[in-house]
Amino acid sequence: MAAVALILGASSLAAQEEGGDAGEAEEATAAANTTQGVFSEEQATRGEDVFYNICAECHFEEDFGGPFIQSWAGASVKDLVDEIVATMPEDNPGGMPTEQYLDVVTYMFKINGMPTGEDELATDDMDAVEIAVDLDP
């Protein structure tokens, strides 16, 4: 998955060179993929609450383990959140605020061993963060 980080890094650099908003480019390089501590412990804990209050009615944690998260490698966090917003909870798709969908997705990242960091991932930044799975920790 190192290639993912390299590609993202290169495109952010290109954006800077093209005279894009430097501040924005800096933020994007600071949080490029999910192996880099892009969500906080608190956020994942909120997501755990959402999981047990809502999703656990029909799901086990294992539903979102290795094979599931690997199938999303290379997509953006926003791609995954959008997919879940569109389809889940099965009895009420889109029925939660986007923030709560993102929280539960950060919980999925956490149970897959992705590291937490100081800052929360904001819904505005979801499309700038790529889902990357570290296969040899």
| Among positions 9, 37, 74, 89, the unique one binding ligand HEC when judged by CB under 6 A | 89
Q: What is the dihedral of CA 38, 42, 47, 48, to 10 degrees?
A: 120
- Minimum Å gap between C-beta 59 and ligand HEC is 5
- Minimum Å gap between C-beta 34 and ligand HEC is 15
| Among positions 31, 32, 44, 54, the unique one binding ligand HEC when judged by CB under 6 A | 54
- Count each helix (H run) and each strand (E run) in the chain, helices first: 6, 0
Strand partners, 33: 130
62 lines the binding site for ligand HEC (CB under 6 A): no
Phi-psi category of residue 19: left, alpha or beta, with phi > 0 → left and psi -120 to 50 → alpha = left
Using an 8 Å Cβ cutoff, are 121 and 105 in contact?
Answer: no
68 lines the binding site for ligand HEC (CB under 6 A): yes
57 lines the binding site for ligand HEC (CB under 6 A): yes
Binding site for ligand HEC (CB under 6 A): 50, 54-55, 57-59, 68, 84, 88-91, 104
